[in-house]
Amino acid sequence: MTERAPRILVLVGPATGGIGAHAAALSAGVADRGGTVAVVCPGLTAERFTWRVPVVLAWPGGGLLEVWRRWRRLRELVATADVVHAHGHQAGLLALAAARGTRPRPAVVVSWHNAVLATGARRAVLALGERLQARRADLVTGASLDLVERATALGAGGAELAPVASPRAGHEVPDGARERIRTELGLDERALVALTVSRIAPQKRLDVLLDAATLLAHDDAAARRVGAPVTWLVAGDGDANLDADLRARAAASGADVRFLGARSDVPELLAAADLFVLTSRWEARALVVQEAMAAGVPVVATAVGGLPELVGDAGILVREGDALGLATAVGDLLAAPRRRDTLAEAARRRFAALPGESDITRSWWTRYARLARAARGLR
């Protein structure tokens, strides 16, 4: 007798970037393999991404009556699933609440894509949420090893690494992209470009990037070693107040730091760059770093979260919050074209060894089948 394909219900909370893109790609891949997949998410998440599977607006929201209706609909969907896969802490708590008391209870897997970075009382509350997810979910996966270790420390019965691949990484760019972007931005033809692609958010520590750019701009000895103008490009949008503050600081810094806003041509920007810089307080295996590695752009990043395991010896890692260390690393690398070439080749090789989207879909198909069989009481 042929075992039927698993029925998967995916929960995704408010998402604007990598989590939503990953969930959309994974859902489509599982459906292509024969799984029955439906997604529950807020309206904005539904609109932001291209979903090739049914999307049900059963994420609680609106007035009290609407919340109740959506909650009932969510419970109905959970009751018909073999596996409920929640992406993120908010979705994880919602999935566990919706599955409680359901008979038969579906397996609940929670994927952690981010660390909890809050402080004070809020951190204490969120830590309780982490512990609840770890102990009640059938499986917790982490996008980086530190998240897996966190889940295990909190009592998870099962915790596994589940890397996320960038859907844009490795895509070819049109001929002449480097020259076109540099001309569009009015860059000096000799300029060396340090690119950052990031949300404008406190976690990204773009204040440290500005401090490093300022230090490098006023370091005459470093300028002589580099031997060319240095331009820092920051692509991304987010917190409007923080964005305005950073732009004002950049204008007064004496460094050539340009905030480009949201861009849809990241592969072309990477083609125009001489190195990629990420100053975050925490990242998992950042998708944009994968994209830089695939494009052969040397990476300078903070040694946090999953970045050391991702970058390895194919880039330069600095302490989080260390503007002087960042300025030194960027200056030294810009002054050493052969070193940049060596790191670029190492980055391409390291990226080629990473799991791609098809590998990740295959791994999740195996997990879903295992969890579904357990939920049905099969072996």
Instruction: Tell me the domain boundaries of the chain.
Output: 7-165+356-375, 177-352
- Quote the pLDDT of residue 71: 96
- CA torsion sign for 312, 315, 320, 322 is positive
Q: What gap in Å lies between CA 113 and CA 226, rounded to an integer?
A: 37
- Quote the pLDDT of residue 166: 87
Q: What gap in Å lies between CA 54 and CA 71, rounded to an integer?
A: 18
With 0-12 / 13-18 / 19 or more C-beta atoms within 10 angstroms meaning exposed / middle / buried, residue 242 is middle
DSSP β-bridge partners for residue 109: 85, 139
* Mean of pLDDT values over 307-326: 97
Question: Structure tokens of 84?
Answer: 């409920």
**pLDDT tens per residue, range 211-238:** 999 999 999 999 999 999 999 999 999 9
Residue type present at position 351: F
3-state secondary structure of 283: coil
What burial letters (b/e) apply to 146-159, b meaning 16+ CB within 10 Å?
bbbebbbebebeeb
Q: Please report where in the chains the tokens 């917190």 appear, as a residue.
A: 239
Is 7-165+356-375's fold the same as 177-352's? yes
- Quote the pLDDT of residue 118: 84
Q: Quickly state the pLDDT bin for 20 (edges 50, 70, 90).
A: very high
Record the pTM: 0.91
- Quote the pLDDT of residue 168: 80
- Quote the pLDDT of residue 11: 98
* Mean of pLDDT values over 13-41: 93
* Mean of pLDDT values over 284-308: 96
Q: What gap in Å lies between CA 262 and CA 63, rounded to an integer?
A: 33
- Quote the pLDDT of residue 349: 97
**pLDDT tens per residue, range 107-157:** 999 999 999 988 888 989 999 999 999 999 999 999 999 999 999 999 999
- Quote the pLDDT of residue 15: 87
For 177-352, the fitting CATH number among 3.40.50.720, 1.10.3720.10, 3.40.50.2000, 1.20.120.10 is: 3.40.50.2000
Mean pLDDT of the chain: 94
Q: Quickly state the pLDDT bin for 205 (edges 50, 70, 90).
A: very high
Q: Are 35 and 8 in contact (CB under 8 A)?
A: yes
* Mean of pLDDT values over 312-322: 97
More confident residue, 374 or 362: 362
**pLDDT tens per residue, range 244-255:** 999 999 999 999
Q: Quickly state the pLDDT bin for 379 (edges 50, 70, 90).
A: very low
- Examine the pLDDT at 323 and tell me if it is beyond 80: yes
Q: Shortest CA distance to 267 belongs to which of 201, 181, 343?
A: 181
What are the residues whose beta carbons fall under 8 Å from the beta carbon of 340, sequence distance 6 or more? 274, 275, 298, 333, 334
What is 7-165+356-375's CATH topology?
Answer: Rossmann fold (3.40.50)
DSSP β-bridge partners for residue 8: 37, 83
- Examine the pLDDT at 159 and tell me if it is beyond 90: yes
- Quote the pLDDT of residue 73: 96
- Quote the pLDDT of residue 2: 59
- Quote the pLDDT of residue 87: 98
* Mean of pLDDT values over 297-304: 98
Q: Quickly state the pLDDT bin for 104 (edges 50, 70, 90).
A: confident
